[in-house]
């Protein structure tokens, strides 16, 4: 029933201003999407140019890029450049207490997750002539009625702009989202998990990685766990996840060594006892939050994407991928509804909320699974059954991890199929056991 | 291990200032508790004196007072006066589509819930010489580090005070709670249900109640429902609960009558067709929110109670009772820990959070149960089994509603026992069915 053609809407988009708040990964990718459609795009970032910022020791961010994220990058021609800078990971490597290491592949051969240290999406955004990046711009005020926005610049001056659409990509503690909270019937939750995290560095040995690269190394220890991820400079970043109250029990260098002797003895020579004693106390343990909300839009002038809409805990490696897929899904709806914001925004909420809530829940589920089940023979046996079923019936039975990481099956559909498959698997596992498999 | 006596702490409490933010039911009751202990109490309410405010048509609040609330009032000597102004309710009355009415008692004989139109807790608070009620005081700023607070008065002047404890009793949209949100590791959720509510008045007939008083009248209709509660002036307040999108389908007076003809035909002559057509559109349907958070305290200077800590949907009649019990539980912990705020506040969070979360969940559960199950024979049969078991084993099997409404069994314990009893009941019901009961 839309009576204007795509051409018409493309020509009107040229006069429209899209203000993207937040110049991080999702904000910059979104800028590319809107610029490609011909909108005037203004990106506002409160920090200084984030490309010039150094990677902070102890708060490095390792970014897992998998199928959904890559598809979103591909659509705006950014996939190849970015993929070339990633480290491919094809397996987990489980470190048991006695030092043995067992690999568990993520999927079939060729199905890899790319580990990125940073992604220069802002650079790509800048290649569009209609896009302007405004760093050190702090959002002071905005109105979803009029689209008027006021920013405070680093030089103390105020800058005002008039936006046709405000896109909030300003992260887990989004300023844009705060105005949503004042509206009636806005559902919102923020849940901190009892675990904090702390980062340690494992240096190269003779210029080479100290452990096998291309693996996500995991030391599952039930109530806590450590993981290690490779960096381009041949170091590993080790991240210890532990309940805050257990962090509080370790207060001296000697206690650190004692703790590592007990639970991660194989890592002490690799990290180095002195570095361990020092780096453990470099920063306090960091908190992790899961944020869910609904709706994602306010009137026809404002929409939330990425962590601003759904911060997830980092245990499924889907945070960045879900944020990138937000841009892709929004773009698909823009096509379907001819860039009519008053139709696109509610549709985006309708389509995307159940998927983002599903991945937030899955990440929380994996927070438990990674620490405990990954270790057990029962879990390995179930993975084996999953993979075997997938081999026999590749279209019918797809392991959950594969659906989430290597396909674009909607997150909430993946969860649904998983529950169904779980029943089938349960039946097969139990009849196998009876048959004495 | 506390080395100061109760007397010592009583004498120190006299120099301490407790600022209660919010002069509603819970705020005023709290003021009594703190005044009774000898604290200097300042109550700040942003509205004008709420006792002088008229009851707004369409937004009257019917307050269910049951055991927990009464115990909390009793402790500060307020029970008798308040109970004398309530209308006792001992049963539900289910109205089926064909007009038949079936009573379902709430508990045993003598177990009643009191229906209040308003409770004059501020009046009681004012009887303490150490308590001051400050109306039309709007909170501008406060600090949990120093206890400094700034208020804006109606005359435009600012007022500053120094508090030793700030008690946030400022309701579901608490201003005090907003500062908690800025702290790390504060868990928070606000969930709006898809239903809205709308109030209608059923006038007296020949100076008498139009239906039997002393009953909670319920018209359960699965996706929606209506309830009616008696008022002291012999009117009933009828409240229609319905999904917002169904409210939007009824836009004319004729559609209202058509809708009532179909679902609540027995109420049309009692409310009056003309009043119905008019009053249905007096106010838009109101939203209902469930709020949960944790912790309830910030440092040793601030604590949340009542709706500010846990707004619940109104389907278990426990909102006010849970808020009043907050005051009582806090008071018990003040006794145990000798009024030492640095110990009392964390203990209050530890003890009270699981109970408030349990009643919030139960209210949400009843939101479904009241609309649907209340109607079915299966539900009535289960109630019958429950009550029979309770008669045979009064200490072992207590119906959930009884535990929640007529005891002080902790809410989360009540839920636990209920799950356990459910298993027992399941066994008995099914073995009864097999025996052909």
Of B9 and A333, the structure prediction assigns the larger pLDDT to A333
Q: Tell me: pLDDT of A310 over 90.
A: yes
Nearest CA distance, B347 vs chain A (angstrom): 16
Nearest CA distance, B346 vs chain A (angstrom): 15
Residue A5: what pLDDT? Answer: 39
Range in A77-86, A264-273, B323-332 the model is least confident about: A77-86
CA distance A20 to A228: 34
Of A76 and A58, the structure prediction assigns the larger pLDDT to A76
Nearest CA distance, A252 vs chain B (angstrom): 25
Which of B303, B306, B317 shows the shortest CA–CA distance to B350? B303
With CA atoms as reference, the chain A residue closest to B191 would be A187
Considering the four listed CATH numbers 3.40.50.2300, 3.90.79.10, 3.50.50.60, 3.40.605.10, the one that applies to the domain covering B6-53+64-73+118-190+289-369 is: 3.50.50.60
Computed over every residue of chain B, the mean pLDDT equals 88
Per-residue confidence at A121, pLDDT binned at 50, 70, 90?
confident
Q: Tell me: pLDDT of B205 over 80.
A: yes
Give B-chain residues touching A189 at CB under 8 angstroms: 188-191
CA distance B426 to B435: 14
Residue B167: what pLDDT? Answer: 98
Q: How would you class A61 by CB atoms within 10 Å of its CB: exposed for 0-12, middle for 13-18, buried for 19 or more?
A: middle
pLDDT in tens, A162-190: 999 999 999 999 999 999 988 879 999 99
Residue A183: what pLDDT? Answer: 82
Q: Tell me: pLDDT of B435 over 70.
A: no
Q: Compare CB distances from B187 to A184, A186, A192 and report the shortest one's residue.
A: A192
Per-residue confidence at B7, pLDDT binned at 50, 70, 90?
very low
Computed over every residue of chain A, the mean pLDDT equals 88
Would you say the C-alpha torsion A3, A8, A14, A15 has a positive or negative sign?
negative
Residue A13: what pLDDT? Answer: 72
CA distance A377 to A375: 7
With CA atoms as reference, the chain A residue closest to B195 would be A185
Q: Tell me: pLDDT of B8 over 60.
A: no
Residue B399: what pLDDT? Answer: 83
Q: Compare CB distances from A191 to B184, B187, B190 and report the shortest one's residue.
A: B187
- Determine the number of helices (DSSP H) and then strands (DSSP E) in chain B: 15, 19
Contact A187 B191 (CB under 8 A): yes
Q: Tell me: pLDDT of A300 over 90.
A: yes
What's the rounded mean pLDDT across residues B285-308?
Answer: 96
Measured distance between the N- and C-terminal CA atoms of chain B, rounded to whole angstroms: 59
In B, what residues contact A, Cβ < 8 A? 181, 184-192, 287
Residue B215: what pLDDT? Answer: 93
What is the β-pairing status of strands A113-116 and A63-65? antiparallel
Residue B422: what pLDDT? Answer: 73
With CA atoms as reference, the chain A residue closest to B175 would be A182
Most A CBs within 10 Å, among B172, B179, B185, B357, to test the A interface: B185
Contact B190 A188 (CB under 8 A): yes
Residue B123: what pLDDT? Answer: 80
The 3-class secondary structure across chain A, one letter per residue, is CCCCCHHHHHHHHCCCEEEEECCCHHHHHHHHHHHHCCCEEEEECCCCCCCCCCCCCCCCCCEEECHHHHHHHHHCCCHHHHHCCCEEECEEEEECCCCCEEEEECCCCCCCEEEECCCCHHHHHHCCCCEEEECCEEEEEECCCCCEEEEEECCCCEEEEECCEEEECCCCCCHHHHHHHCCCCCEEEEEEEEEEEEEEEECCECCECCCCCCEEEEEEECCEEEEEEECCCCCEEEEEEEEHHHHHHCCCHHHHHHHHHHHCHHHHHHHCHHHHHHHCCCCCCEEEEEEEEECCEECCCEEECHHHCCCCCCCCCCHHHHHHHHHHHHHHHHHHCCCCHHHHHHHHHHHHHHHHHHHHHHHHHHHHHHHCHHHCHHHHHHHHHHHHHHHHCCCCCCCHHHHHHHCCCCHHHHHHHHHHHHHHHHHHHHHHHHCCC
> Which two three-digit tokens encode residue B144?
């949990």
Residue B374: what pLDDT? Answer: 56
What's the rounded mean pLDDT across residues B285-296?
Answer: 95
Per-residue confidence at A157, pLDDT binned at 50, 70, 90?
very high
Nearest CA distance, A175 vs chain B (angstrom): 12
Residue B61: what pLDDT? Answer: 64
Residue B378: what pLDDT? Answer: 62
Quote the strand ranges of B15-130, DSSP E.
Answer: 17-21, 40-44, 63-65, 87-89, 91-95, 101-105, 113-116
What's the rounded mean pLDDT across residues B416-422?
Answer: 83
Contact A189 B189 (CB under 8 A): yes
Domain locations along chain B: 6-53+64-73+118-190+289-369, 376-434
What CATH class has A6-85+117-190+288-369? alpha beta
What's the rounded mean pLDDT across residues B226-237?
Answer: 93
Residue A293: what pLDDT? Answer: 97
Nearest CA distance, B85 vs chain A (angstrom): 34
C-beta of residue A163 within 8 angstroms of C-beta of residue A19: yes
Contact B189 A185 (CB under 8 A): no
């Amino acid at each position: 029933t839309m009576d204007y053609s795509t051409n018409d809407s493309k020509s009107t988009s040229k006069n429209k201003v899209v203000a993207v708040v937040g110049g991080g990964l999702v904000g910059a990718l979104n800028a590319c999407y809107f610029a490609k459609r011909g909108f005037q795009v203004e990106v506002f970032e409160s920090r200084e140019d984030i490309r010039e910022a150094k990677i902070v020791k102890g708060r490095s961010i390792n970014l897992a890029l998998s199928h959904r994220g890559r598809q979103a990058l591909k659509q705006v021609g950014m996939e190849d450049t970015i993929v070339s800078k990633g480290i491919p990971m094809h397996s987990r490597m489980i470190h048991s207490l006695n030092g043995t290491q067992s690999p568990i592949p993520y999927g079939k051969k060729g199905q890899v997750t790319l580990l990125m240290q940073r992604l220069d999406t802002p650079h790509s955004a800048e290649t569009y002539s209609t896009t302007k990046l405004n760093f050190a711009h702090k959002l002071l005020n905005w109105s979803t009625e009029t689209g008027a926005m006021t920013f405070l610049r680093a030089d103390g001056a105020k800058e005002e702009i008039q936006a046709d659409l405000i896109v909030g990509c300003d992260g887990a503690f989004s300023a844009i989202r705060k105005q949503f909270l004042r509206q009636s019937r806005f559902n919102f939750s923020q849940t901190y998990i009892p675990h904090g995290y702390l980062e340690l560095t494992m240096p190269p040995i003779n210029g080479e990685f100290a452990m096998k690269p291309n693996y996500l190394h995991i030391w599952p220890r039930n109530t806590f766990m450590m993981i290690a991820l490779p960096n381009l400079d041949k170091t590993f970043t080790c991240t210890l996840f532990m309940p805050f109250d257990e962090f509080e029990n370790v207060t001296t260098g000697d206690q650190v060594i004692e703790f590592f002797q007990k639970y991660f003895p194989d890592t002490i020579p690799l990290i180095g006892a002195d570095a361990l004693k020092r780096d453990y106390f470099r920063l306090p343990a960091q908190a992790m939050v899961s944020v869910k909300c609904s709706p994602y839009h306010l009137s026809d002038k404002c929409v939330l994407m990425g962590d601003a809409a759904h911060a997830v805990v980092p245990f499924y490696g889907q945070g960045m991928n879900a944020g990138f897929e937000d841009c892709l899904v929004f773009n698909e709806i823009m096509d379907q509804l001819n860039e009519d914001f008053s139709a696109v925004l509610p549709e985006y909420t309708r389509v995307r909320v159940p998927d983002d809530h599903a991945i937030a829940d899955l990440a929380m589920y994996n927070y438990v699974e990674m620490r405990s089940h990954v270790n057990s023979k029962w879990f390995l046996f179930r993975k084996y059954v999953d993979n075997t079923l997938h081999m026999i019936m590749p279209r019918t039975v797809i392991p959950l991890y594969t659906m989430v990481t290597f396909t674009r099956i909607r997150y909430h559909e993946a969860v649904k199929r998983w529950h169904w498959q779980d029943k089938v698997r349960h039946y097969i596992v139990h009849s196998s056991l009876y048959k004495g498999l």
